[in-house]
Structure 1
Amino acid sequence: MSDITIGQYVEGRSLIHRLDVRVKLVLMLCGITFVFIAGNYFSMALITAFTIFIMLLTGISLFKYIKSIKAVIMIVLFTAILNLFYGSGEPIFKWGFMEITEAGINNAVFVAARVILIVLMSGVLTFTTSPTDLTDGLERIMKPLKIFHIKVHEIAMMMSIALRFIPTLFDEFNKISNAQKSRGADLESGNFITRIKAFVPILIPLFISSFRRANDLATAMECRCYNGGDGRTRMKVLKIKPRDIIALSVSVLVFVGVILCNIFLPYPER
């Protein structure tokens, strides 16, 4: 649980920190799209190198990014192992009805790489963008939806609050878990069903604490006369600057490179 880093903001003055939040949101969405578009090892290597380059530009310790991967490593391994046995061609290894082919290995590598890259890209966004800026950026991007009478500001606010409270809830989980262990609770022995039942005394206080926090937050917003996005002004006005144009241009070149790699370079057996 201590490896959960989603929603954590790391203050800094790097180039990535100072980019317009709308640019970062658009680039993250485009990056995730091109992670799935990358169809061979060359295009995947290009998007991976670009992601690592962006991570280095943030000035944030790589250990923090590794912690974010550790939180989903079991999902990565599980999906990779499943895809290992899906593939046509001559089997490299066979045991009973299970067989591993070159196509299966390629599938496993691509699935694992895609999940890891998505986690890293999401980490770059949340590590370098404060919840307030993220709310403003989401609201600006979804602004055209207002013509359909959709409450864009409220949706953006809910998404930002939910993202912000992820690390808070996991921290609360650790506190309650340690408190139960100090009272003699055994959370690690027994079969799967027994261990699930042992977590009930943790989940109930966690839900109660979550509702209490939500109520406190609602009270605080009401005391500050919060009434949604109508008539609200902003302390920071978002403006596209030259560094944002440069970031978009470099990203477009990388994405074009991914497409060219897909067109002119060979695909692995799938």
Structure 2
Amino acid sequence: MYKRFIELKKESILYRINPALKIIFMFIIMLLTIIFNSPLPLGILFISLILLSLSGGAITNLRKILPLVIILMLFTIILWNIILKGKTHPFYIYNYPIFIDVFLYSIGMSFRVSTVIVAGVILLSTTSNEDLNYGFRKIQIPQRVTFALVYSLMLLPALFETISVVQMAQRARGYTIRGRGPISRIKKYIPLIIPTILYLLKNANHISMALESKAFGYSKHPIFIKEYKITPLDIILISVSIFITIMALYLRILGYGVVFHRL
């Protein structure tokens, strides 16, 4: 039995919220990151999610991806300062011009990327695969699309374990992926990729046979083992979320929370 890719926190308050509403919250957070591009509102949103992860018990999973988040933020800041030219007076770092407005915009973009990642980790940390399937179906996502999304999350542990087994098998044969340069290392990864792809193809065939034997897709209205009812807490949370979204759109129309008038 494979372990879940992200550890589930059933003891958290967020776990008891309706899965469909949690998915809607995820979309609202993504919308808020698109509305603003200034580092101030996006930074506030990012810090709010970090605090939410503390109360929701997802901070353990966030620590696992913290290096990835930091690398993505630094890469985003560097990339935008390279490709975008600003209108303010620049300052120089090693004779390279850095514009204040572009620098602020790049920080906002780094918060945008990291906020979406953190929101996704919180969702997966407080929602089981079965509840994700329930939530996607309740917001009218097609059944086949829902199955593909949820099952891909279920297969991630199996995929990583397969890669680990292939690596150990190759090392036992005296094969190493270490090389002198990046091109040499890429070539050495080919013997690892081929067995992994063959495993995925074999597994996909087994999945298709299992789905056919269970008449997957025959009914457009499947029955769920567990049904969620809308609670007063759910109503309060969705009302607050809608209010925040409307206020964010209003502030954006007035010109607040933006460095450049673009996404």
TM superposition score category, shorter chain reference: 0.7 to 0.9
Q: Output aligned runs, 1:83-162, within 5 Å.
A: 83-85=80-82, 86-88=84-86, 89-93=88-92, 95=94, 98-142=96-140, 152-162=142-152
Residue number in structure 2 paired with 1:194: 184
User: Which amino acid letter does the alignment assign opposite residue 73 of structure 2?
Assistant: V
DSSP-derived class of the 1:211 partner = helix
SS in 2 for 1:228: coil
* CA offsets 1:77-111 (integer angstroms, 9 cap, x no match): 32321112323121111545x31121221122112
Report the TM-score, using the length of structure 2 for normalisation. 0.84
Q: 1:80 aligns with which of 53, 77, 92?
A: 77
Contact 2:39–2:107 (Cα < 8 Å) also in 1: no
Partners of 2:238 and 2:169 lie apart in 1 by 49
Helix, strand or coil for the counterpart of 2:179? Answer: coil
Q: Cα–Cα, structure 1 residues 185 and 208, in superposed 2: closer, same or farther, change >3 Å?
A: same
| Alpha-carbon spacing, 1:78–1:29, altered in 2? closer, same or farther (3 Å) | same
| Cα distance change, pair 191–260 in 1 and its aligned pair in 2 (3 A) | same
* Offset from partner CA, 1:220-270 (integer Å, 9 cap, x none): 4445x2332506322112322112112213333443554566548575579
Number of matched residues? 255
Structure 1 residue 164: deviation in Å? 2.0
Distance 2:67 2:161 in 1: 17
Give the match's secondary structure for 1:93: strand
CA contact (8 A) 2:38 2:105 kept: no
| SS of match in other structure, 2:162 | helix
- Work out whether residues 18 and 228 of structure 2, in 8 Å CA contact, stay in contact via their aligned partners in 1: yes
Conservation of the 8 A alpha-carbon contact between 1:68 and 1:119: no
Contact 1:87–1:102 (Cα < 8 Å) also in 2: no
CA shift, 1:138, in A, is 1.1
- Structure 2 regions of 5+ residues with no counterpart? none
Question: Does structure 1 conserve the Cα–Cα contact (< 8 Å) formed by 2:21 and 2:234?
Answer: yes
Letter in 2 for 1:212: K
**In structure 2, C-alpha distance between the alignment counterparts of 1:40 and 1:79, rounded to whole Å:** 14
Q: TM-score, normalised by structure 1?
A: 0.82
**Correspondence 1:1-270 to 2 at 5 A:** 8-60=6-58, 62-71=59-68, 73-85=70-82, 86-88=84-86, 89-93=88-92, 95=94, 98-142=96-140, 152-223=142-213, 225-228=214-217, 230=219, 232-256=222-246, 258-259=248-249, 262=252, 263=254, 267-268=258-259
- Do the aligned partners of 2:22 and 2:123 also contact (CA within 8 Å) in 1? yes
- Are the equivalent residues in 2 in contact too, given 1:7–1:127 (CA < 8 A)? no
Percentage of pairs with the same residue: 23
Unpaired runs of 5+ residues, structure 1, are 144-151
Q: Residues 45, 64 of structure 1: CA spacing in aligned structure 2 closer, same or farther, 3 A cutoff?
A: same
Structure 1 residues 31 and 266, CA gap change in structure 2 (3 angstroms): closer
Distance 2:64 2:172 in 1: 27
